[in-house]
Structure 1
Amino acid sequence: MVVRVQAEPFDVGAELAAFAAGRQDVGAEVSFSGVVRDDGGLAAMEIEHYPGMTEKALAKIEAEAVARWDLKASLVIHRYGRLEPGEKIMMVATAAGHRAEAFEAAQFLMDYLKSRAPFWKKETGADGASWVAAKDADEDALERW
């Protein structure tokens, strides 16, 4: 079970290879990686967090996912700092005995990261900079858990 908050880019392929290496106790591995998206004119996204608090919050939700879905392994990576369109912003991987557990746990982790993880995002474009507000759809996604 791994949680990392980092400024440095990561290689999804290398992370997945390391995550799966030597595992024979699982029947399913699920992964998701998020990418900074340019919806028209985005130059960069700045992600801020409070070191220590962020890792603690992510570890708590990761532990809940492990307990709820009997995960054999999990990985959560989230970047901070300045990111440009096309860069990887986060990654979740889960491994479980069966695919339903792995998929559900991954969705749970992704929904949490999108709505409750203590990160603050500011988008910069041609019109200046603005903080990203929470979206109702992201909040609604948490209700199923």
Structure 2
Amino acid sequence: MPEALASGDWGLAFDHFGLATRDAARSLAVLRGLGYACGEPVHDPLQKVHLVYCVHPRMPAVELIYAADEPGPLETILAHQPESVYHLCFRSANVAASLAAMKAAGHRTLTVVPPRPAVLFGLEPVSFHLVKGLGLIEFIETRSPVATIAGEPNFPVPKRS
């Protein structure tokens, strides 16, 4: 992983905030009102959700997540509120090494969802982990780490006009 991409001692680069919502149209309207450019919805059958990736020239990316037509992980997340920023996402060239470094630093981690291909991220493997003191984090195991330098993802997103 290039030095420019990795941050801290764990070989991670921030990618996005995960925003779960019951009302995708309303959430997209708010994000666009804030100046975000949002891609087209993508269904991920393995995660059982619909996803929209939104980018901004000066603010962090947001992954909008909303329910598919099948039971999925959002039922619990949205049980008591209509929307929630519920995860942070980081890229790593080696998720196992990043997790080992976190554990070696004394941070307790628990794998919630093991690695599996993610449609939104060009089938790169994603996994979810609870980290004591931080909450739920998603890791994208990046095959091409230069993809996130300067905030440019390695999958199609809308271009700002």
Q: TM-score, normalised by structure 2?
A: 0.27
| Larger relative contact order (CA 8 Å, sep ≥ 6) | 1
Q: TM-score, normalised by structure 1?
A: 0.29
The structure with more helix, counted as a fraction of residues: 1
